Structure 1
Amino acid sequence: MCFFTDIHLTFLMQWVPLYPLMGLYTLGILGSWFDVSPHWSLLIAGCVVIMQLELLVICFMKKHQAISIISRSYALPKYMEYTYNIMCILSIPSGGLYFNSIRMPKDEQWQFIGRIVPQYYNQFQSLPNFDVYEKNSRFYVIFGCFGFLVISITVSLIFLILSIFRMMRKLKIQISAMSFQRHAEAIRSLTVQSATCLFCLAPPVLLSVFVYFEVENSQILTELCIVWIGSHSSINMCGLLIFFDPYRSFILKEFRR
C-alpha cells in the first residue's frame, strides 16, 4: 500500500489545487494519457491511504494477539477483532460511494464557477481536466467522518502499542533472548511505520482546515501540504534507518557489496 501510494501520487496523479475554489486538476499518467478525472484520482488516493493505516492497525492487532498468547494476558476479545476487520472492509466502499455522491455534474460545475469566480472562467476553460466542489452539508459530513476515522485509528494504535509494551515487560522473563529480540524488532518496525503514517496524515487534516476556514495564503499552504504527502516514503525510510537496526544493517550490507 505504501509503494502504491507513492506510485499513485508521483506518476499516476499529481494534483494541483485551484484556489480560491475547493477543487483541483491533475497531471500525470491517469489524467494525461487516460483522461481520468481528478475526482476519481483523488478517490483512489484517499482509499489507498486509509487502507494503509487500517492494515497497520490489523498488523498490530495480530502481533498483540500473538504476544498475549505467549504471555497469557491482555488478549483482545475475538469479537473486537472481527468487528474491526468488518469495519475496515466496509469503510472503503461506503466512504468511496458517499464521496462520489458529492461530485457535481460538469455543467453544474461550470455554473458554479461562473457564479463564484467569473473572473477565472476563461482560465478554467484552458484546463484539460478539473473538478470543483461546493461546500455544503454533505461535504462537511465528509470532513466529520474523516476526522472521526483519523482519531479512531490513532487511539487504536496508541492503545495497542501501550498494551504490547506492557506485555513485553512480562514476556522478557518467559522466553529466550533471541525470541524476545525478534518480537521487539517486529514491534519497533510497526511502530516506526505507524508514526510515519500518522505524521504524513497531518497534511490531509491541514488541507481540511484550510478549506473549511478559508485560511489566508491557502494556495501556498496547500502546495506545501502536497509536497509533505509526497515525502511519505522518504520519511518512512529515514525513520527505519534511525530506529530499526535490521533495516539499517541490510542497507549497509547492500552498499558494501
Structure 2
Amino acid sequence: MIIGYCKEGKVEEARDLFDEIQFKDDACWNAMLTGYAQSGRGEEALELHLQKLKIGLHPDNWTLVSVLMACSTLSLLKDGRQAHLLIIKHGFESNVSIYLVSWNTIVAAFSQHGLYGKAIAFFNQMRLSGFEPDGITFLSILSACARAGKVNESTDLFESMVNSYGISPTPEHYACLVDVLSRAGQLEKACKMIQEMPFKADFGIWGALLAAAGKWNDVVRVRSLMREHGVKKEKAYSWT
C-alpha cells in the first residue's frame, strides 16, 4: 500500500501508514525509501535510510538502489560514495545490476559537477574491476568530457563504446560529441557526424552546433545546413 500511495502522489499518506506500522520489516522500510526516491524527495529518503541504520538494520539490495537514486537526484557525491562502499561491505558486488547503478550514479554526479578527472577515474576503476559500462555510463562520461572540452577523449570513448562494447549510440550520445566538437571550433567534423547519424538529428543536436557556430562566426552556414535537413526553428529560440 505504501508504494501504491506514492505512485498516486500521496507521499504524506504513505508516510503516515509507514509510521503506524509497529514492527517494520525490510520490505516496509524499502517501500518507503523507494517511494521517496521515485517521488524526487531524495533528502527525505536519505534521512529515512539513516534512521534504518541507527536502529541496527542492515541495508539490502533494494535499500541501496533507493539510496543511490536519492543521491543522484540530489547530486550528493559523498553520500553516493558511502552507498557504494556499503554495497562492497555487505557483499552486494556480485549483483551486477546493483553495482552498475552504484557506479553510474557516482560517475553521473561527478559529471554534473564538472569534475572530469574524478569522473574518468571512477570510470576507469569500474572497468579495471571487471564490470562493463553500459550506455548510461558512457553518456555520463561523455557529458563530463564535453564539459571539460576533451575532444580526443570524447571521440575515443565514443568509438570504444561502439566497437569494444557493442553499444548502439543514442541521440544523447551524439549530442555530447557534437557539443564538444562544436565548442572546439571543429564545426566541419560536427556537421559530418550529424549527417552520418543513423537517425534524423533533432533540434537539440542542431542547437548545440548552432550555439557554437555563433562563437566561430559560422551561423549562416549552419542555418543553411539545418534548412537542408528540414530542421525548423523552435519558438522562443533565436537563430541569430
TM-score by length of 2: 0.22
Report the structure, 1 or 2, having the larger helix content: 1
Report the structure, 1 or 2, having the larger strand content: 1
Greater RCO (CA < 8 Å, at least 6 residues apart): 1
TM-score by length of 1: 0.21
